[in-house]
């Protein structure tokens, strides 16, 4: 048996290629939209991809199941659990075998047994795998998807928070409790391969180790320590992070079948011009991907700053619109990678890009060029005490509840664009987060919405706390 592990650290997403070396057949589990790595691995390992499966309809990235089926002709083994609202709508286009709890199928000599594990989503399945080429007749491991992670379990509140299904959080939390009772009966020796690692918004305490065992999770995973259902439900629902805005769109697109990449037009590359940027602003959303410290010094009015770093895709999913053109101001070297990362979450509507002359464009922008101030915590403290600024904390709700500056008003960054009218314009706005990165994005949002006097606190609440400045702690 061959097992290949793939990890996208921008989305904290793990996927797998499992192959039978005796027959040369392989299956891909929870594929991402960029399928090139699976095709390359299959060629290197001299196996053919004949199967594709995923543990559930994903919310945090666009699935590559349809893309792989279209390119390889492989059979789709997708969940038929969860009812009509959770039925994949593109299966008739490809070879497919819907699977239910207790079903099994083979890829070469490797056996996969389906275990329905609702809780994160209604249709979620886990896959027990047995290597038929070995002497053992028992399963060797479980692909757990977003059911059980290393140190955590899948969040049950996405239906309610991301998809708007009222009252579903508690229902799904109770289903998760039931699913975990089945999990506890599995043999301790089973290896555990989840679909996400640390940093994913599909749970609240995911570990950074890529794999585990059922027995180890029984010992250390907080969720498996509960035997009282009500206590478990309360603990599971408490402190879940805000789901990014794009999650609801991912559910829709993954159920309907994502657009094939071959049907997407490549963005146009245009010459540097402030006038062109102004035209773009009238047509869609313009994103400046330069570092926040560079953007702060000079930028064109109305442009949103999402620095191209590890968090780029997540914040793009919060702020960009699937129904409006997207225009990128980015370095030549990073343009292709940025476009590909946006496609990971279905933001295929990048119309055009402008290259590394961004700085020159800004410098030539005349009166349309603006800046915002970066201030040290000590200076910020004096301005706050004198009432000279409006202090805005853009961290998430859990961070806020654990400690905050007394004079601060809390609006989580992901909601700021829709709630900017709650921020007064009669004095400068001082924005802070934990370390200064998210508040820089917030500063660009406020500037784009017409706030003239915006400041970003360098080092954020972390530096504020190190200096021993006033705070309200839980």
Same domain, 249 and 280: no
Find the CATH number of the domain harbouring 300.
3.40.250.10
Q: What is the DSSP letter of 366?
A: G
Same domain, 394 and 364: no
Same domain, 103 and 81: yes
pLDDT category at 11 given cuts 50, 70, 90 is: very high
DSSP 300-365: ETT-EE--SSTTHHHHHHHH--TTS-EEEE--HHHHHHHHHHHHHTT---EEEEE-TTHHHHHHT-
Q: What is the pLDDT of residues 406-451, one digit of tens each?
A: 999 999 999 999 999 999 999 999 999 999 999 999 999 999 898 9
Total domains present in the chain: 3
Same domain, 103 and 185: yes
| Residue 433 bears catalytic tag | yes
d(C-alpha 386, C-alpha 398), whole Å = 28
- Is the pLDDT reported for residue 248 higher than 60? yes
Q: Quick one: what percent of the chain has pLDDT higher than 90?
A: 81
**CB within 8 Å of 379: residues ≥ 6 apart:** none
Last residue of a domain, one of 349, 368, 387: 368
Q: What is the pLDDT of residues 302-335, one digit of tens each?
A: 899 999 999 999 999 999 999 999 999 998 889 9
Last residue of a domain, one of 256, 281, 305: 256
Same domain, 295 and 404: no
Q: In the prediction, which pLDDT does 367 show?
A: 56
Same domain, 279 and 226: no
Same domain, 151 and 278: no
Beta bridge partners of 467: none
Instruction: Output 274 or 351, whichever has higher pLDDT.
Output: 351
Same domain, 158 and 203: yes
**Which residue out of 20, 202, 330, 433 is catalytically annotated?**
433
Instruction: Name the burial class of residue 156, with classes exposed (0-12), middle (13-18) and buried (19+) by CB atoms within 10 angstroms of its CB.
Output: buried
d(C-alpha 301, C-alpha 281), whole Å = 9
Token pair listed for 453 = 């006097």
Average pLDDT of the residues in 151-173 = 89
Q: What is the mean pLDDT of the chain?
A: 93
> Would residue 300 count as lying in a domain?
yes
Region at 320 (left for phi over 0; alpha for psi -120 to 50; beta for the rest)? beta
Q: What is the pLDDT of residues 257-298, one digit of tens each?
A: 999 999 999 999 998 888 898 899 999 999 999 998 888 888
Same domain, 216 and 309: no
pTM: 0.93
Instruction: Please state the length of the chain.
Output: 474
**CB within 8 Å of 40: residues ≥ 6 apart:** none
Same domain, 35 and 171: yes
Same domain, 362 and 389: no
Q: Which candidate, 178, 192, 187, 189, places its Cα nearest to that of 221? A: 192
Q: What is the DSSP letter of 284?
A: S
Q: In the prediction, which pLDDT does 359 show?
A: 66
- Is the pLDDT reported for residue 356 higher than 70? no
Q: Which candidate, 20, 16, 15, places its Cα nearest to that of 2? A: 20
> Would residue 29 count as lying in a domain?
yes
Sheet with 25-29, strands from edge to edge, namely 2-8, 13-20, 25-29, 48-53, 75-77
> Would residue 261 count as lying in a domain?
no
- Is the pLDDT reported for residue 120 higher than 90? yes
DSSP 113-170: EEEE-TTSSTT-EEEEEEETTSS--S--EEEEETTB-SS-B--S-HHHHTT--TTHHH
Find the CATH number of the domain harbouring 231.
3.60.15.10
Last residue of a domain, one of 223, 256, 289: 256
Same domain, 364 and 385: no
What range does the domain containing 239 cover?
A: 2-256
d(C-alpha 458, C-alpha 464), whole Å = 9
């Amino acid at each position: 048996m061959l097992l290949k592990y793939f990890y996208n650290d921008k989305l904290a997403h793990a996927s797998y290629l499992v192959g039978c070396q005796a027959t040369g057949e392989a299956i891909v589990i929870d594929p991402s939209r960029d399928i090139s790595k699976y095709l390359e691995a299959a060629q290197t390992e001299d196996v053919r991809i004949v199967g594709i499966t995923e543990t559930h309809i994903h919310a945090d990235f666009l699935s590559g199941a349809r893309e792989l089926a279209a390119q390889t002709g492989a059979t789709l083994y997708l969940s038929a659990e969860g009812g009509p609202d959770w039925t994949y709508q593109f299966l008739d286009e490809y070879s497919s075998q819907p699977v239910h709890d207790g079903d099994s199928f083979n890829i070469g000599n490797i056996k996969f047994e389906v275990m329905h594990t609702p809780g994160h989503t209604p249709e979620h399945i886990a896959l027990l795998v047995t290597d038929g080429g070995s002497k053992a007749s028992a399963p060797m491991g479980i692909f757990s998807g977003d059911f059980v992670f290393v140190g955590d379990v899948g969040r049950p509140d996405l239906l309610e928070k991301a998809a708007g299904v009222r009252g579903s959080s508690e229902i799904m939390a109770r289903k998760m409790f039931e699913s975990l009772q089945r999990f506890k009966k599995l043999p301790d020796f089973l290896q555990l391969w989840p679909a996400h690692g640390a940093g994913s918004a599909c749970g609240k305490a995911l570990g950074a180790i890529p794999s585990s065992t059922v027995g180890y999770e029984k010992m250390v995973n907080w969720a498996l320590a509960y035997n009282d259902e009500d206590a478990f439900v309360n603990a599971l629902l408490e402190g879940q992070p805000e789901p990014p805005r794009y999650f609801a769109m991912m559910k829709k697109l993954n159920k309907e079948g994502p657009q094939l990449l071959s049907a997407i037009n490549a963005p146009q590359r245009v010459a540097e011009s402030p006038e062109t940027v102004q035209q773009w602003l009238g047509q869609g959303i313009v994103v400046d991907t330069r570092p926040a410290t560079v953007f702060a010094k000079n930028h064109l009015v109305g442009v949103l700053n999402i620095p191209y770093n590890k968090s780029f895709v997540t914040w793009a999913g919060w702020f960009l619109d699937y129904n409006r053109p997207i225009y990128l101001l980015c370095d030549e070297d990073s343009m292709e990678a940025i476009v590909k990362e946006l496609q990971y979450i279905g933001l295929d509507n990048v119309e055009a890009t402008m290259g590394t002359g961004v700085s020159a464009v800004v410098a030539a922008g005349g009166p349309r060029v603006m800046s915002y101030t970066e201030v040290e915590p000590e200076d910020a403290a004096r301005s706050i005490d004198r009432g000279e600024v409006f202090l805005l904390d853009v961290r998430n709700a859990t961070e806020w509840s654990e400690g905050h500056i007394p004079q601060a008003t809390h609006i989580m960054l992901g909601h700021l664009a829709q709630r900017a009218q709650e921020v007064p314009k009669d004095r400068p706005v001082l924005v802070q987060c934990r370390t200064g990165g998210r508040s820089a994005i917030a500063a660009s949002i406020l500037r784009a919405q017409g706030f003239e006097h915006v400041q970003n606190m360098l080092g954020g609440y972390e530096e504020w706390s190190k200096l021993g400045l006033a705070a309200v702690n839980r």
